[in-house]
Amino acid sequence: MAKPSIESLLEQERFELRPKSGGGLLSYEVWGYQEKGKTVVTRYNLAYINHLICHVDNGRVLGFDNAHDYHHRHYMGEVTGVAFNSYEETLERFQKEWLEIVTATRGK
C-alpha cells in the first residue's frame, strides 16, 4: 500500500505594489506535495487586493482559488466557477488578468 503524501505549504508570498505599478497587494499561497519528482498542487489562493479599486470582498479585485471544493474566480465581488486544467494555467491567467486591470486603472 502506498504511503499517503503529506501536504505542505509550497509558496506564500505577498507583494506590496507601488502606486505607479497599480498599487495594492498581490498575494500567492500554494499548498501541495512532491511525488516522483513532480510538484502536485492541492490548494491555491491567488489574489490582487486594492481597496481603492474594489470596496467589497475585502478589497479583492481579482482572485483565483479552489476553496469550498471547486475552482473559482473572484472579480470585484462576483464569484464564478472556472474550468481547471492545471495550476500553472490558472497562475498564468491570474497574472495576465491582473496586468490588464492595472493597465486599465493606472492613474485613475
Tell me the pTM: 0.89
Section 53-80 average pLDDT? 96
Listing DSSP states for 55-98 in one string gives: -SGGGEEEEEE-GGGS-EEEETTEEEE---S-HHHHHHHHHHHH
* Boundaries of every domain in the chain: 8-105
Which of 21 and 59 is assigned the larger pLDDT?
Answer: 59
Which triple of cell numbers denotes residue 25?
497587494
SS3 content of the chain, % helix, strand, coil (to 5): 25, 45, 30
Question: pLDDT value at position 15?
Answer: 95
